[in-house]
Structure 1
Amino acid sequence: MRMMPLASIVPGMKLGKKIFSDEGIVLLAEGVELTGSMLRRLGDKGIHYLYVQDPRTEGIEVPELLREETSRQGVVTIRSVFRDLVDQPGKRHTGTYPYVGKQVRQLMHQVMDDLQRNRDALIMLMNMHTVDHYLYMHSLNVCVYTVLLGMAYGYSSDELMTLGLGALLHDVGKTQISMNVLLKPGRLSLEEYNEMKRHTERGYYLLKDEPNIPLIVAHCAYQHHERLNGTGYPRGIQGFEIHEYAKWIGIVDSYDAMTSHRIYKEPMLPHQATETLYAGSGTLYDTSMLKIFRDKVAIYPVGITVTLSSGQTAVVVDINSASVHRPVVRVLTDEGGADLKTPYDLDLSKQLSVMIKRIDAGPSDR
């Protein structure tokens, strides 16, 4: 299996991973032969990359952070909770939603159980094979990535539960934003952008009085767009005024937004998004937190095509958790670009004279 940009996939190739809707329904099954109309529809949905089958990359399996059932149930739960809030926005002034806390806590227990089974897991791209309302998958991604960082930082189970709830519900205020603004397939006007920014305050007011939601969770919704140097919103607070949990969520929220499929923009690859975050080290984001983030991100996703310093083309096979910048790769060509009769695996953590020169936008051998 390998990851390829949609523009490089031709009809007749076979899908390597199932594609789900936001209701957890399988839209395209693994192994289905892709047609031109399928590829066009996926492009219309904002999908830019797909996993496809390739005999030369047989045996390369992309690890999943969550079990399929947890991931599907997660998006369904978020969709249900958020849509109920969208349908009844006026209630935010007159009542609470006690069921919200119950539903999201149940989901958090599932997420934490999955992640506790593999505490050494790295942050992988989770949304390469989901066609959905962006907000739902984004909320789940930010939750999972943030909990992984919290585990690496050493938070207790109770702290991880609160941190995870804050991450899961950080964008709940977007349920109170006009759908015309929220789903606009393009750049927002200044007026629309100011409307979008109000989701932080609206999220806080939705959550602050919920009986089953810690008050810190409401502050995560309120503060996740604040930045160390005071240039964030809604209040322009800085440094120690920003809750620690909100700082974690701010990093992950930015990362997932940069690496996610959107109809109006192509996603960044992990190494590009990580470099962008590091440009704000010490000014926008906490440097010590970014270091933990960097060590937990699989910047070269399994299945992606890379060019080595030797000039050879390879596909990432596995991630070395102790050295995420030097994965195991499967070499497909010689130095001149000719296909190898027998591709072979190379562990870059043991071959220090060879390094990844660049990530290819598409396969160089086809």
Structure 2
Amino acid sequence: MRLISINVLKKGMVIGRTIWNEAGLPLIQRNVVVTEPIMHRLKQLGIQYVYIEDEISKGIEIEETVPLSVRKKSVKQITESFNQLKGLSNKSAALVLDKKSKEIGQLVDNLLTSILSSNEILTVLTDTLIYDEYIYQHSFQVSIYSLAIAKELGYSRNDLKTIGIGALLHDVGKMLIPSEILFKQSRLTDEEFEIMKQHTKTGFDILRNIHTISLLVAHCAFQHHERIDGSGYPRGLVDSEIHPYAKIIAVADVFDAVTTNRVYRNKMLPSQGIAIIEEGRGTIFDERVVDAFKKSVVHYPNGTILLLSDGRRGIVVEQNPKNAALPFLRIFEENHERINNTYVIHLADEPNVKIEKVESEYIEYVE
């Protein structure tokens, strides 16, 4: 299967990966032939990229690091827990989460099992599930990215669990933000953004009163929008004043935000999101965290078509665990002409060849 932009999806193409709705039910099944109504529905849902099956991508499979069953169960748990907090006081919200702390810990343990048992680079496919409310999927994915970064940095299992819980609950304060602001279907005004920023302090106040989880979890909520140059909020902390866990979650939070569809902004591809993080390395994001992040997250998912500097085109068939930015490619085109005998190259073995761009709108050559 290969990843293509919805802009070039056509009738007759075959869906390569099932798309699920917020209830965990299949919206569009794998192997379904694309029709006009399906194209219209996908655009309606704001889907930007889909996986299709074709000759170029024959035999290429994509597996998420965290199994789909774990993802669906986790997001359901997050949704149910967070929804119970709406309209409550900080104290009442803390009591609700205190009762849920064992369940939350088990959820993170399940994610840890998936991540620690895999030697592969982290793969997360956000366009295979559709959620009406962004915050729940975001909390889940920030936890996955944070755990992958922390694993690369060498944290112990106990530390990893604390980081995972901190990441899962980093936005819990948002559930006490007025719904008309939290779920607004357009950009926030300056006044609304100031209210939204209060979620860091609110989250801290809720979590620090839960005695069944570490106080460090509360600091993750409080500091995940702080930046090492002092430009963040709520306190404008600088490098050494920010807890290392919060530095990890800051990177994970921004990466997921830019690589996930929003009503007011289209999602970026992973490589574009990584470039955004790299731009902030050493200025707003901790250097060690950024370096660990780049090693632990897939830059070009399997099934992505890349144009190379020497004019060849290839499709990613396998990841390189030693260098996430240099995957294995199946070359299928040279000098804008399809070749009969495709072959696989390892970009790490061709230092003079660079990736020019991701070609999600590539149209397959037809004789």
Q: TM-score, normalised on structure 1?
A: 0.94
Partner of 2:235: 235
What letter corresponds to residue 170 of structure 2 in structure 1?
Answer: H
Partner of 1:250: 250
Confirm or deny: 8 A CA contact 2:8 2:363 kept in the other structure: no
Partner of 1:180: 180
Please say which of residues 266-275 and 241-250 is displaced more in the overlay: 266-275
Please say which of residues 273-282 and 311-320 is displaced more in the overlay: 273-282
CA apart distance, 1:231: 1.0
SS at match of 1:55: coil
> Equivalents in 1 of 2:22, 2:109: separation in Å?
21
SS at match of 2:342: strand
Partner of 2:346: 347
What letter corresponds to residue 146 of structure 1 in structure 2?
Answer: S
RMSD: 1.7
What letter corresponds to residue 192 of structure 1 in structure 2?
Answer: E
> Equivalents in 1 of 2:352, 2:223: separation in Å?
45
SS at match of 2:200: helix
Moved segments of 4+, more than 6 Å:
none
> Equivalents in 1 of 2:68, 2:58: separation in Å?
21
CA apart distance, 1:59: 1.1
> Equivalents in 2 of 1:95, 1:29: separation in Å?
40
1:89 paired to 2:88: yes
CA apart distance, 1:95: 5.8
> Equivalents in 1 of 2:256, 2:67: separation in Å?
20
Partner of 1:208: 208
Partner of 1:264: 264
Summarize deviations over 1:239-281 as a string: whole Å, max 9, x none.
2211110010001101111111222211122222222222222
CA apart distance, 1:151: 1.1
> Equivalents in 2 of 1:182, 1:25: separation in Å?
26
SS at match of 1:102: helix
Partner of 1:65: 65
Q: Which runs of 5+ in 2 are unaligned?
A: none
Aligned residues, how many? 363
Identical positions, percent: 33
CA apart distance, 1:5: 0.9
Partner of 1:130: 129
1:46 paired to 2:20: no
SS at match of 2:326: coil
> Equivalents in 2 of 1:329, 1:131: separation in Å?
29
Partner of 1:363: 362
CA apart distance, 1:91: 6.2
From the superposition, tell whether residues 95 and 288 of structure 1 become closer, same or farther in structure 2 (CA, over 3 Å).
closer
What letter corresponds to residue 125 of structure 2 in structure 1?
Answer: M
CA apart distance, 1:184: 2.0
> Equivalents in 2 of 1:365, 1:142: separation in Å?
35
> Equivalents in 2 of 1:23, 1:213: separation in Å?
29
CA apart distance, 1:341: 2.8
From the superposition, tell whether residues 340 and 124 of structure 1 become closer, same or farther in structure 2 (CA, over 3 Å).
same
What letter corresponds to residue 35 of structure 1 in structure 2?
Answer: T
CA apart distance, 1:205: 1.7
> Equivalents in 2 of 1:168, 1:305: separation in Å?
33
Q: Which runs of 5+ in 1 are unaligned?
A: none
Summarize deviations over 1:300-336 as a string: whole Å, max 9, x none.
221111111221222111111112222111122221x
Confirm or deny: 8 A CA contact 2:316 2:329 kept in the other structure: yes
> Equivalents in 2 of 1:229, 1:350: separation in Å?
38
Confirm or deny: 8 A CA contact 2:90 2:202 kept in the other structure: no
Summarize deviations over 1:224-250 as a string: whole Å, max 9, x none.
001111111111111221111001000
Confirm or deny: 8 A CA contact 1:308 1:356 kept in the other structure: yes
